[in-house]
Amino acid sequence: MKTKPIPFMLALAMPLVAYGQDPPAGPLATLNEQTIYRRAVEAALWALPVADALAPRRAGHERGISPSAIFITEQRPTGKMGIATMNAQSPCVFGDLSTETGPIVFEVPPRSDKAKFTGSIVDLWWLPLEEVGPDGADAGKGGKYLVLPPNYEGRIPEGYFVQRSRTYLINTLFRAVPTEGGDAGWAAAVAYARTLKIYPLAEAAAPRPVTFVDVSRLPFRGTPAFDRSYFQYIDQLVQEEPVLERDKAMIGLLASFGIEKGKPFRPDPRTGRILDRAARDAQRYCIDRLISMKSVMSADSRFWVNRHWVIPGINREAVDETAQWSFADGLDYATRAAVHYSCIGVQKRVGTQAISLLATVDSNGNPLDGSKHYKILLPGKVPVNDSWEVIAYSLVTRSFIDTPANRIAVSSTNPVFKTSRDGSVEIDIGPSAPRGRENNWISTRRGERIAVCLRFYGPGNRIIEKQWVAGDLVEVKGGT
C-alpha cells in the first residue's frame, strides 16, 4: 500500500500572501508570460479536487508520517489541524492509498451499539466510488470493499463490494459517529474506528494491522497553499495517473509552464512568480463565487426562503454524469472548482442522511468578518436523530480557525453549552467571548474572512420539510 513520495523541488517555505493581494510577480511583459498566467489559472481551477486530495499526504510527509499510514482524529481536533471543511464532532479516518501495485480491501465493521461508520471511498478527483456503513453498500452490516486500479484485468474474488477506480490513488473519508455524546461517546467511537481494516488484496490471507496516526492536535496544514507549490500536485497527477479522455486538452496546455509527463518540473524564478499569482487568483475566483453564492448549483439556493443559509453546491458528476458541469460535450471545471472550494464532502447517494448548510453573509447580506461578533439562534430542541454542529471556517484555508481559545465549533456531541428553558441554543461567533457564555462561543480571528456551516446528521422531518427554521447570523455591535 505504498504511495510515491511527493517531490519537493520547489520552495515550500515561501510566505503566503493575504487574500486580496497579488504576489510580487510584477507586470506580465510578454505574450508568453500572459499565456503562462492564463493557462496556469485555468489549470489551478481544473485541478482543485486533486490538490485537496493530495494535500493531507504532503502535510504527513512534512511531519515524517509514513505514506502507508491512515490519519485519525483520536481527540477533538484543534484549530491547528487544517483539513478542508472537516467536521469536529466525531472521530474521522482519512487518507490516500495507491492501488498501483494491486487492489486494496477496506474491511468495514458492522455498526455497533456504540458507533457507526459513514463516509465514502473516492478517487483522486473526489468522484465517490461507494459509501460505507448504514448509508452504503453494506447497509450497516459491515463488509469488504474491493477497490480495483484502472484497467484491472486480474481475478476478482467473490464476497466483495467491487469498485473500479479511474485513478491509482484513492481517498477515504470516514466518520465514526458515536451513539452517545460527550468524551465517553468520542472514546467509544475512536475504539470502533480502529477496528477498520485496510490491506492489499494480495495479503488478504494474513493482513497487516493498519497504521493509524493521530493528527487531531498536530499543526497539520492539510489544505493546499495557493502559490507555486500548488502546481506540484498537478505535476504528480501528470506523472503518476492515467489521462482521462475529457482532460487531454488541459494536459496539453500544462507543457507551456513546464509540466510534462516524464520530465522534471523545475520552473525558473520568473515563471515561479507567475505561478504564484495564478494560483492566488484562482483562489480569489473561488472565494468571490462562494461569497456571492454563484457556486451554488440550484437556482433557488436558500434552504429557507427568509434566511441566508444555503446548500453548498453538490458534486453533480457524482450524482448525474450528464448534469450541470459534466455533460456530453464538455466539462465546466471552473464551476466544479467553486463548488468544491465550498464543500469537499461527496456522496454517491444524495439523500437525507445529512444536511449541510453554509452562510457567508449575515442577516443583512454583508460578508462575514472574523473581526465582528455574531449570534445564531437554534430554536427549540434541534430535531435531529443523530447530531448537529455549528462550525466556523477560514475562507482562505477552508479549515478550522486557529485561535488561542481553540473554540472551533459548538456541537450536540459535546453538550457543554447553555440552553434556554425551551431547549433553544444561542451561539456566539467572534474574536472574543461574551462573559459567561464561553461554552456557547466559536472563536474567530480578526481580519479573517469566514464562513459558517450548520450541519444536521440524521435530520428529522421538521428540518427536511423546513418547518424548523434556524436563525441567521446577526451582527452584534460591541460584541455583547
- Look up the CATH number of the domain holding residue 108: 2.60.40.1610
Dihedral angle sign, alpha carbons of residues 25, 31, 32, 35: positive
Give residue 35's identity as a one-letter amino acid code: T
Pick the range with the lowest mean pLDDT from 180-184, 234-238, 284-288, 473-477. Answer: 180-184
Pick the range with the lowest mean pLDDT from 272-281, 330-339, 401-410. Answer: 330-339
Q: Give the domain CATH number at 356.
A: 2.60.120.600
Query: Do residues 316 and 215 both lie within one domain?
Result: no
Query: Do residues 216 and 74 both lie within one domain?
Result: yes
Asked, for residue 210, whether it belongs to a domain, the answer is yes
Q: Quick one: which H or E segment has residue 180?
A: none
* For range 9-37, the mean pLDDT: 55
Q: What pLDDT, in 10s, does the model give residues 395-434?
A: 999 999 999 999 999 999 888 899 998 999 999 999 999 9
Asked, for residue 388, whether it belongs to a domain, the answer is yes
Q: Which of 248, 360, 370, 255 is nearest to 313 (CA)?
A: 360
Q: What pLDDT, in 10s, does the model give residues 440-449?
A: 999 999 999 9
**Total tally of structural domains belonging to the chain:** 2
User: 46 pLDDT band (50/70/90 cuts)?
Assistant: very high
Residue 263 has pLDDT above 60, yes or no: yes
Asked, for residue 353, whether it belongs to a domain, the answer is yes
Q: Which of 157, 88, 25, 201 is nearest to 453 (CA)?
A: 88
User: 301 pLDDT band (50/70/90 cuts)?
Assistant: confident
Residue 5 has pLDDT above 70, yes or no: no
* For range 378-397, the mean pLDDT: 92
Decide which of 387 and 301 is more confident.
Answer: 387
Query: Do residues 326 and 432 both lie within one domain?
Result: yes
Residue 466 CA to residue 478 CA, distance in Å, equals 33
User: 237 pLDDT band (50/70/90 cuts)?
Assistant: very high
Which pLDDT score, from 0 to 100, does residue 352 have?
56
Q: Which of 165, 200, 221 is the last residue of a domain?
A: 221
Ramachandran quadrant class, 129 (left: phi over 0; alpha: psi -120 to 50; beta: rest): alpha
Question: Using only C-alpha atoms, what is the Rg of the chain?
Answer: 22
Q: Which of 189, 204, 221 is the last residue of a domain?
A: 221
Residue 11 has pLDDT above 50, yes or no: no
Dihedral angle sign, alpha carbons of residues 345, 374, 405, 434: negative
Give residue 76's identity as a one-letter amino acid code: R
User: 234 pLDDT band (50/70/90 cuts)?
Assistant: very high
Asked, for residue 429, whether it belongs to a domain, the answer is yes
Which pLDDT score, from 0 to 100, does residue 285 have?
94
Distance in angstroms between the alpha carbons of the first and the last residue of the chain: 53
* CA 366 from centroid of its chain's CA atoms: 25
Which pLDDT score, from 0 to 100, does residue 348 have?
67
Rounded to two decimals, the pTM is: 0.87
Residue 395 CA to residue 453 CA, distance in Å, equals 12
User: 295 pLDDT band (50/70/90 cuts)?
Assistant: low
User: 355 pLDDT band (50/70/90 cuts)?
Assistant: confident
Burial 222-255 (b: 16+ CB within 10 A, else e): bbbbbbbbbbbbbbbbbbbbeeeeebeebbebbe
User: 329 pLDDT band (50/70/90 cuts)?
Assistant: low
Residue 392 has pLDDT above 50, yes or no: yes
User: 314 pLDDT band (50/70/90 cuts)?
Assistant: low
Query: Do residues 366 and 446 both lie within one domain?
Result: yes
Which pLDDT score, from 0 to 100, does residue 129 have?
93
Query: Do residues 462 and 348 both lie within one domain?
Result: yes
Pick the range with the lowest mean pLDDT from 88-97, 128-137, 298-307, 408-417. Answer: 298-307
Decide which of 262 and 181 is more confident.
Answer: 262
Residue 318 has pLDDT above 70, yes or no: no
Which pLDDT score, from 0 to 100, does residue 218 have?
83
Asked, for residue 301, whether it belongs to a domain, the answer is yes
Percent of the chain whose pLDDT exceeds 90: 65
Residue 21 has pLDDT above 50, yes or no: no
Q: 104 and 149 in contact (C-beta within 8 Å)? A: no
Q: Which of 150, 102, 106 is nearest to 127 (CA)?
A: 150
Residue 94 has pLDDT above 50, yes or no: yes
Decide which of 302 and 293 is more confident.
Answer: 302
Instruction: Report the chain's mean pLDDT, rounded to a whole number.
Output: 87
Which pLDDT score, from 0 to 100, does residue 87 have?
84
Query: Do residues 193 and 318 both lie within one domain?
Result: no
Give residue 173's identity as a one-letter amino acid code: L
* For range 140-152, the mean pLDDT: 97
Asked, for residue 265, whether it belongs to a domain, the answer is no
Query: Do residues 311 and 168 both lie within one domain?
Result: no
Residue entry with cell 490471507: 205
Q: 95 and 183 in contact (C-beta within 8 Å)? A: no
Residue 8 has pLDDT above 50, yes or no: no
Query: Do residues 310 and 431 both lie within one domain?
Result: yes
Asked, for residue 235, whether it belongs to a domain, the answer is no
Query: Do residues 318 and 467 both lie within one domain?
Result: yes
Query: Do residues 76 and 210 both lie within one domain?
Result: yes
Q: Which of 189, 221, 253 is the last residue of a domain?
A: 221
Which pLDDT score, from 0 to 100, does residue 217 have?
83
Which triple of cell numbers denotes residue 7? 517531490
Residue 38 has pLDDT above 90, yes or no: yes
Pick the range with the lowest mean pLDDT from 19-28, 330-339, 382-391. Answer: 19-28
Q: 412 and 389 in contact (C-beta within 8 Å)? A: yes
Which pLDDT score, from 0 to 100, does residue 479 have?
65
Residue 442's domain spans which residues? Answer: 293-479
Percent of the chain whose pLDDT exceeds 70: 86
Decide which of 280 and 480 is more confident.
Answer: 280
Distances (CA, A) of 107 to 117, 170, 181, 194: 12, 15, 26, 11
**∠ at Cα 164 (162, 170), nearest 5°?**
105
Residue 3 has pLDDT above 80, yes or no: no
Which triple of cell numbers denotes residue 245? 479522455
Residue 468 has pLDDT above 60, yes or no: yes
User: 284 pLDDT band (50/70/90 cuts)?
Assistant: very high
Asked, for residue 75, whether it belongs to a domain, the answer is yes
